[in-house]
Amino acid sequence: MHRNIHQYFLYILSNKYNGTLYMGVTNDLECRMFEHKNKLVEGFTKKYDLNRLIYFETFQYINDAIKREKNMKKWKRQWKINLIEEDNPNWQDLSDDWPNLKNV
């Protein structure tokens, strides 16, 4: 029996170390990063050049990802920074070595 397992992602983008933060939810993080890096997404991320993936979480259910995003959007900026820097203290782009994003 084939089981269809979905993954959903809450992600945080920035433009530089300690820069502007953007939070979103997607079911295809690699595709979404391609869109952000190529400025295919109109609006806030394009305007502020937010294309550095600095944090993400994985969820089985979309409702859980959305609930987490809504909750985190209420957080103080410093709380978000603390969360990011637990695993990514230098705000490195976590999508840098993804093969489909090369030469972007």
Distances (CA, A) of 45 to 35, 68, 77: 10, 20, 17
Task: Let me know if residue 39 belongs to a domain.
Answer: yes
Quick: pLDDT tens for 59-89. Answer: 999 999 999 999 999 999 999 999 999 999 9
* Count: domains in the chain: 1
Query: Which pLDDT belongs to residue 98?
Result: 84
**Other CB atoms closer than 10 Å to residue 56's CB: what's the count?**
18
The pTM of this model reads 0.90
The CATH number of the domain holding residue 19 is 3.40.1440.10
93: containing domain: 8-101
